[in-house]
Amino acid sequence: MGALIGNAEAQTKALTIALVPGLTTDAFYITMRKGAEAAAKAVGADLTFQGAPDFNPVTQSPVLDAVISRHPDAILIAPTDKAQMVQPLKKAADAGIPVITVDTFIGTGDYGTGKGEADFPLSYIASDNLLGGKIAARTLAKAIGDKGKVYVSNVKPGISTTDQREEGFKEEMKSHPGITVLTTQFNDDDANKAASQLQSVYARNPDLAGVFGANLFSALGSANGVKQAGQGGKVKVIGFDAPTSVVADIKSGTIDAVIAQHPAEIGYFGVICAYAHLTGQSIPTKIGTGFTVMDKANIDDPNVAKFIYKD
């Protein structure tokens, strides 16, 4: 009889799901949190949100340790490094806390295979970043008339999402023989560095036609570099991600287009999957969410503007 009462009590106690973002101040993760909160409200779960102020495994690991110590029913996390966050997350799994990765992954992102030490998360929920890179390549190819020199402005190697965007971009550009892809420039998420790199690449290649900024700061920095080089409108800039700050850049033509992810969907599906698992349902090991290409022609369309990230 006591066991039945215990079960009934367990069922009335709200499940707690922790969301650990890549960083707390970014509009992408703020929007993800809103989607997660909507799902938590729908299923009657409690959502906690705790992260570091910068995208760095050194600062994310102690935050994760603090979350694990409170023993939530499940953890949703955007790991800041696909190798360095494996052991910190293993602590959660060893403590019996289910782990779902959102936006970024550990290992290869292929979970539940029984291979390797990083296949223990239940699911990976994110934009298909390979596809996002391909869409960026197609968008840039169209903007430059399918000919000329281009390059990728990226953050640093080892971040699963931006690695895949670059890979997808280069893969798609193989289908555009009139376009030459120059060496990738890594800017360490520093827009000023991205701007000076653009000017250096342009100095060596005065026929530069375009650049793909694999994340927000890469795109903003590259766009500033284009302006500083006096090439506004001539060197096309395609960006990734759509916080409100890029709307003015799109309308002014500083950035020609951005590939917007749907972070609210990622957060929503993350919570729903955690809840499904915790209530005895099976969940897919991978869920891909959508993209919207935003440019000057469609940025004011309500069906497009709704995907601008919330501050």
- Residues in the chain, overall count: 311
Domain that holds residue 192: 129-261+296-305
Q: List the strands of the sheet with 286-289, edge to edge.
A: 46-49, 16-20, 74-77, 99-102, 123-127, 286-289
Average pLDDT over residues 180-205: 97
Q: Are residues 300 and 172 in the same domain?
A: yes
Q: Are residues 71 and 156 in the same domain?
A: no
Q: Are residues 162 and 300 in the same domain?
A: yes
| In a domain? residue 310 | no
Low-confidence winner among 91-95, 135-139, 249-253 (lowest mean pLDDT):
249-253
Average pLDDT over residues 170-185: 98
Antiparallel, parallel or unpaired: β 123-127 and 99-102 = parallel
Contacts of 306 (CB under 8 A, 6+ apart): none
Apex 141 CA angle, 264 and 133, nearest 5 = 35
| In a domain? residue 53 | yes
Query: Nearest-CA neighbor of 274 among 45, 8, 112?
Result: 45
pLDDT of residue 310 exceeding 90, the answer is: no
At residue 9 the predicted structure's pLDDT band, cuts being 50, 70 and 90, is very low
Q: Are residues 38 and 133 in the same domain?
A: no
Q: Are residues 37 and 123 in the same domain?
A: yes
Contacts of 284 (CB under 8 A, 6+ apart): 123, 273
| In a domain? residue 208 | yes
- Distance, CA of 69 to CA of 100 (rounded, Å): 17
Q: Are residues 145 and 255 in the same domain?
A: yes
- Distance, CA of 258 to CA of 278 (rounded, Å): 37
- Distance, CA of 301 to CA of 311 (rounded, Å): 19
Q: Are residues 210 and 246 in the same domain?
A: yes
Q: Whole-number mean pLDDT of the chain?
A: 93
Q: Are residues 170 and 118 in the same domain?
A: no
Average pLDDT over residues 221-247: 93
- Distance, CA of 27 to CA of 31 (rounded, Å): 6
Q: Are residues 120 and 268 in the same domain?
A: yes
Q: Are residues 194 and 180 in the same domain?
A: yes
How many domains does the structure of the chain reveal? 2
Average pLDDT over residues 282-293: 95
| In a domain? residue 104 | yes
* 262-273 tens-digit pLDDT: 999 999 999 999
Residue 11's pLDDT is: 53
| In a domain? residue 157 | yes
At residue 1 the predicted structure's pLDDT band, cuts being 50, 70 and 90, is very low
* 20-37 tens-digit pLDDT: 999 999 899 999 999 999
| In a domain? residue 218 | yes
Average pLDDT over residues 291-311: 94
| In a domain? residue 171 | yes
Average pLDDT over residues 159-172: 94
| In a domain? residue 311 | no
Q: Are residues 266 and 121 in the same domain?
A: yes
Contacts of 242 (CB under 8 A, 6+ apart): 258, 260, 261, 292, 294, 307, 308, 309
At residue 12 the predicted structure's pLDDT band, cuts being 50, 70 and 90, is low
Q: What is the CATH number of the domain that holds 57?
A: 3.40.50.2300
Q: Are residues 18 and 148 in the same domain?
A: no
